[in-house]
Homo-oligomer: A and B are copies of this chain.
Amino acid sequence: MDRNAKPQKRALTPRGAATKRRIVEAAASLIYARGVERVSLDDVMEASGASKSQLYHYFDNKDGLVREVIELQASRILQTNALHFERLDSFAALHAWREAMVAANRAWGGVGGCPLGSLANDLAAQSEQARRQLDQSFAAWGMVIEAGLSRMKEMGQLRSCVDARGMAVAVLAAIQGGILLSKTTRNSEPLELALDMALSHIERHAV
């Protein structure tokens, strides 16, 4: 019952919280562009304007920083997707979401891939801790999609026998695979084809 067994979070002042956020955001950008292994703490120091001791003041080590980067990217994706799925009420809304995904992919130049997907590929086999965290992030993302599909069921737009969860997982897979291929081919077409397959899979279960 020793409260120090795991040192509890220290109290962060507003300045400290801002610095910490600056570091995580800088690290997230760099890692998104290059991958975990190609980003050194010196890179993060330069990009965030923080010193070495600040990094170790706010994070246990590089893994600890990466943990927070995963959290940040997951929260960003959930936020964006929740906008589309929380009020999902029609197939037209689904297509609007499709367009938004493709537009976003085009805007990145299709270069970076999915922030979560890249991290999952990088870390799932390297760190059980990271794998679990990413698994939960994907699960949360899937639940956002599932909630939208369930809503369509309730509204009588999808057949009641539809497995919303399974469908959400398949849609998520289409997103991930589509983005990966688009990143490799530098063209949004694969993502579009994958999303169209996913949408037609959903529409096939329309009432």
Whether, in the assembled complex, A200 has its beta carbon less than 8 Å from a beta carbon of chain B, the answer is yes
Give the Cβ gap from A88 to chain B, nearest Cβ, in Å.
19
Of the listed stretches A55-63, A130-138, A148-156, name the one at the interface; the rest are far from the partner chain: A130-138
Of the listed stretches A9-17, A31-39, A41-49, A91-99, name the one at the interface; the rest are far from the partner chain: A31-39
Report chain B residues within 8 Å CB of A201. Answer: 197, 200-201
Contacts A121-B117, A126-B38 given; indicate if A172 touches B177 (C-beta within 8 A). yes
Q: Is the CB of A125 within 8 A of B170?
A: no
Q: Is the CB of B176 within 8 A of A172?
A: no
Whether, in the assembled complex, A124 has its beta carbon less than 8 Å from a beta carbon of chain B, the answer is yes
Of the listed stretches A22-30, A79-87, A179-187, name the one at the interface; the rest are far from the partner chain: A179-187
Interface of A is mostly: helix
Q: Is the CB of B166 within 8 A of A194?
A: no
* Chain A 85-129 interface mask (CB, 8 Å, partner B; 1/0): 000000000000000000000000001110001101110111000
Report chain B residues within 8 Å CB of A145. Answer: none
**With A and B bound together, what is the CA distance between A154 and B9 in angstroms?**
66
Number of copies: 2
Whether, in the assembled complex, A78 has its beta carbon less than 8 Å from a beta carbon of chain B, the answer is no
**With A and B bound together, what is the CA distance between A2 and B194 in angstroms?**
47
Report chain B residues within 8 Å CB of A166. Answer: 193
Report chain B residues within 8 Å CB of A66. Answer: none
Q: Which of B118, B125, B181 contacts A138 (CB 8 A)?
A: B181
Report chain B residues within 8 Å CB of A170. Answer: 174, 190, 193-194, 196-197
Q: Is the CB of B122 within 8 A of A35?
A: yes
Given contacts A117-B180, A121-B180, A170-B197, 17 further A-B contacts (CB under 8 A): A112-B125, A121-B122, A122-B122, A125-B183, A131-B184, A134-B184, A135-B185, A167-B197, A172-B181, A173-B180, A173-B190, A173-B193, A174-B197, A176-B176, A176-B180, A177-B194, A197-B197
**5 A-B residue pairings within 8 Å (CB atoms):** A124-B183, A135-B184, A139-B185, A169-B181, A177-B194
